[in-house]
């Protein structure tokens, strides 16, 4: 366990996809701080290795595996690498993109397909290969990262909104299918969070930035670390009776 942690996931091995930056990186670091060995996965090798270096510098244990979650062979190899290294007790399926802001009528099929491939099919493929490992050991916890846009509409982000609604459907189905296997599956729905991805989206579309700013009851963006804490808790034994939940972590934005 690295310094300052309380050992919520002590001795476990956790996999985090999309862990090169933003929420994924913060989540990988939080797992390490709470005592887990962490498999850091991303297509971005430089960013993934940076996350590993930060974990190692803080006294944690991590390794990087490059993987594209839209390619089943790479997801399968990623899970196999995690199992070979230390097992698979926890998984956070976080890899995702916002996509280009666009009215639905102007959205290209290519943009639609790319967003769904990463955000939805990527979660499906991750679940498909994580679940058998956890079912066999009769234990495990999975957190899928959805979004507040999985609960309410987001004008200008039709593909993103559809993909995140889909993640919640996958989560609930997987939770019920595994209710007797010892495997729990939940989702978190972050509100607007101060990540490089969100900053880039707001920079591209001033209208989107105004929409986001108006949706913040507390007047600020969330931090990646605040989202990460929820993911770690859901994977810990303290959440042992929580499954099928879609937990909003948004400072009250959807409650407005």
Which residues are catalytic, by number? 160
Residue 64 corresponds to which tokens in the numbers above?
């990087």
Say if residues 19 and 48 touch (Cβ distance below 8 Å): yes
Dmax over CA atoms of the chain, in Å, equals 51
Q: Half-sphere exposure of 176 toward its Cβ, with a 13 Å CA cutoff?
A: 5
Let me know how many helices (H) and strands (E) the chain has, helices first. Answer: 9, 7
Q: Nearest to residue 13, comparing CAs of 33, 32, 27?
A: 32
Q: Nearest to residue 141, comparing CAs of 201, 231, 212?
A: 231
């Amino acid at each position: 366990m690295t310094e300052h942690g309380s050992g919520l996931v002590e001795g476990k091995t956790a996999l985090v996809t999309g862990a090169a930056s933003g929420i994924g990186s913060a989540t990988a670091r939080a797992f390490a701080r709470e005592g887990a060995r962490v498999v850091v996965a991303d297509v971005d090798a430089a960013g993934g290795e940076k996350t590993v270096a930060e974990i190692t510098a803080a006294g944690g244990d991590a390794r990087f595996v490059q993987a594209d979650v839209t390619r089943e062979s790479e997801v399968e190899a990623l899970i196999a690498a995690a199992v070979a290294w230390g097992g698979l007790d926890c998984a956070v399926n976080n890899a995702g993109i916002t996509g280009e802001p666009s009215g639905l009528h102007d959205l290209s099929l290519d943009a639609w397909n790319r967003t769904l491939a990463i955000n939805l099919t990527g979660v499906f493929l991750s679940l498909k290969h994580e679940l058998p490992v956890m079912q066999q050991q009769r234990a495990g916890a999975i957190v899928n990262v959805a979004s507040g846009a999985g609960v309410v509409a987001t004008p200008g982000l039709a593909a993103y909104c559809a993909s995140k609604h889909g993640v919640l459907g996958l989560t609930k189905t997987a939770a019920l299918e595994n209710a007797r296997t010892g495997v729990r599956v939940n989702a978190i729905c972050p509100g607007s969070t101060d990540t490089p991805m969100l900053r880039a989206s707001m920079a591209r579309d001033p209208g989107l930035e105004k929409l986001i700013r108006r949706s913040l009851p507390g007047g600020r963006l969330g931090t990646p670390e605040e989202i990460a804490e929820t993911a770690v808790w859901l994977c810990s034994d303290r959440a042992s009776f929580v499954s099928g939940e879609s937990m909003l972590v948004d400072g009250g934005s959807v409650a407005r």
